[in-house]
A and B are shown apart, each in its own frame.
Chain A
Amino acid sequence: GQNIDQPTEMTATEGAIVQINCTYQTSGFNGLFWYQQHAGEAPTFLSYNVLDGLEEKGRFSSFLSRSKGYSYLLLKELQMKDSASYLCAGMDSNYQLIWGAGTKLIIKP
């Protein structure tokens, strides 16, 4: 079967660094996506990885290990506006996204 696992909730302090982990199992693999979703809003694209390694984009970085079926999203210099849910999604062989339930990130001052 296809499955995406990520922690339900995490708490971090403003200015700190947080790593959100995701493990995936998909039928075929065409990449791993991370989306951000603020409460009551639509998901918005953050990053895409298809090759092993780290992709850095400003304060956000995403890592992929295909052999381990593992990814993480790293958020640096946390700001209060980063409080949101972070959704991990794997793209299967049919180019469909399989979504995790999301990790709710709470930022404390």
Chain B
Amino acid sequence: IAGITQAPTSQILAAGRRMTLRCTQDMRHNAMYWYRQDLGLGLRLIHYSNTAGTTGKGEVPDGYSVSRANTDDFPLTLASAVPSQTSVYFCASSGGLADYNEQFFGPGTRLTVL
């Protein structure tokens, strides 16, 4: 692995189903993030984790949950998917809480909820 990987690449999901988007990084970054990107809107933060074992809510957390059991993995779960969760989801990581730390992004997961 080099950088950040996400799985699946794309998914079509029936409303009401549970879905987990996977994210793994091999850069030993402390901080990880989940964003959604919708046409005409900026990236919106869903949840974040500043270090393994801790998580926090972002701008749009409702309907999503995360866990951070170790440094490398940061899965995002939709407990009961709704059509408004149709979006492109990006996972990102950074070295930690410092102003100069750029975020590195995974390739994204395109999710369609019908």
* Distance A31 CA – B94 CA, assembled complex (angstroms): 15
| B residues 97-113 touching A (CB-CB < 8 Å) | 97-108
Chain A interface residue count, CB cutoff 8 Å, equals 22
The listed residue with most A CB atoms (<10 A of its CB), out of B43, B100, B106, is B43
Interface residues of B, dominant DSSP: loop
A97 touches B103 (CB 8 A): yes
Categorize the interface residue count of chain B.
20 to 34
Binding-face segment, A13-21, A42-50, A61-69, A76-84: A42-50
* Distance A20 CA – B95 CA, assembled complex (angstroms): 28
* Residue positions of B touching A, CB distance < 8 A: 35, 40-45, 48, 58, 90, 97-108
* Residue positions of A touching B, CB distance < 8 A: 4, 30-31, 33, 41-45, 48, 50, 87, 89, 91, 95-102
